[in-house]
Structure 1
Amino acid sequence: MKTTLILCLVAFVVGDDKYDSSHDNIDLSEVLGNERLLVSYTNCLLDKGPCTPEVKQLKDKLPEALETRCAKCTDKQKTAGKQLVKEVKQKHPDLWKQLVSKYDPSGKYHKSFEDFLKN
């Protein structure tokens, strides 16, 4: 959510230690500045539309990333995830609410996620 897309478009796993960093250079401004693209990616994360392979990988790893506070994320993925979340929360609160409803319906990760965003 908490990341991204969208969170996060930043968490892709290959190994056991860290998420795959091959997509760390995604242009976040392109995603955040393109309403159609942002909605499309969000729809994938919400099971409301098709997924690109990259967003599908994110979607598959998002629950683990939330549970572990992104423990396997690279520094670049953490930074990008924080940027995405802050932007979506601020500029697209309706999308954010839908993501939270799907990935943290009970509020289980709320406090730890807010702490993660502060660091």
Structure 2
Amino acid sequence: MKLIVLVLCVTALAYAEDKYEDIEDNFNLQELLENDRLLTGYIKCLLNKGPCTPEVKKIKEKLPEALATNCAKCTDKQKQMGKVLVKQVKKAHPELWDELKNLYDPQGKYQKEFQQFLSD
């Protein structure tokens, strides 16, 4: 019985380590979406054109890996928030979206998988 509990604990720990750190509970997605100045500031951070908040800096550090792995280590909440944000940026700031694509996927090698991710 102790062996089963130990195996379950190790499995749970391994699974937890395979995911990115949870998003802060105080992160207000709706506020970000309703505040164009704040959204633009976050995008400029990702584009290396402006200062970064600690939250966006964490995202920026993980973004290349997340793109390369189709967000394999993202939690469900992170995936959902990412989809909402991407759709808003594409709609409200298509020129900044193009800059983000050019910076993080200059050869376009992630586009097919990324479009699939957005449609799921």
TM over 0.5: yes
Q: Pick the structure with greater CA Rg.
A: 2
Question: Would you say 1:86 and 2:78 are equivalent positions?
Answer: no
Matched letter for residue 72 of structure 2: A
RMSD: 1.4
Matched letter for residue 95 of structure 1: L
Matched letter for residue 114 of structure 1: Q
State the structure with bigger RCO (CA 8 A, min sep 6), 1 or 2. 1
The 5 A counterparts of 1:108-119 are 108-119=109-120
Across the two proteins, how many residue pairs are aligned to each other?
105
Distance 1:25 1:78 in 2: 17
Task: Judge which range, 60-69 or 84-93, deviates more.
Answer: 84-93
Task: Judge which range, 60-69 or 17-26, deviates more.
Answer: 17-26
The 5 A counterparts of 1:57-96 are 57-96=58-97
The 5 A counterparts of 1:7-86 are 16-23=17-24, 26-86=27-87
Deviation at 1:87, TM superposition (A): 1.2
1:24, 1:76 within 8 Å by CA — same for their partners in 2?
no
1:67, 1:109 within 8 Å by CA — same for their partners in 2?
yes
Distance 1:64 1:77 in 2: 14
**Partner deviation per Cα, 1:56-76 (whole Å, 9 max, x = no partner):** 110000000001111011111
Runs of 4+ deviating beyond 4 Å? none
Aligned-pair identity in percent equals: 61
Between Structure 1 and Structure 2, the one with more helix by share is: 2
Rate the CA distance shift 1:117–1:57 in 2: closer, same or farther, 3 A.
Answer: same
Deviation at 1:90, TM superposition (A): 1.4
